[in-house]
Amino acid sequence: MNGICKIGKDICNHFTGYKGKIKNAIADSVKTQLSSTQVKDKMASVTKQGLSSLNLPPIKSVKMEGGFVKVTY
């Protein structure tokens, strides 16, 4: 925001809270995308490949659940 909003403090944000609204909208969008099955499956696949290269016991599965990576040996 330019113009009158840039007088000293950002008075427009003080009265409308637009910065917080933008931040929340972006955060919600990112959370939605990261929660999609397609993204979870891809992250699990990449994690499985990376862990397999570390000479760990054979990995049976990798799942993304509730913000955590669940690895089953």
Question: What confidence tens digit (pLDDT) does each residue in 49-67 have?
Answer: 887 788 777 777 877 777 7
Q: Which residues of 25-57 are buried (b: 16+ CB within 10 A; e: fewer)?
A: eeeeeeeeeeeeeeebeeebeebbeebeeeeee
Assigned domain for 3 exists: no
List, in sequence order, every residue forming a beta bridge with 37; answer none if it has no partner: none
Q: Tens of pLDDT along 25-48? A: 998 888 888 788 888 888 888 887
Range of the domain at 38: 10-72
Number of domains within the chain: 1
Residue 25 pLDDT: 92
Q: Is residue 4 part of a domain?
A: no
Cβ count within 10 A of residue 62? 21
Judge whether residue 2 has pLDDT over 80. Answer: no
CA angle, 21 then 32 then 71, to 5°? 135
pTM above 0.85?
A: no
In a domain, 58, yes or no: yes
Instruction: Give a yes or no: residue 26 inside a domain.
Output: yes
In a domain, 5, yes or no: no
Least Cα distance to 59 among 45, 72, 68 occurs for 72
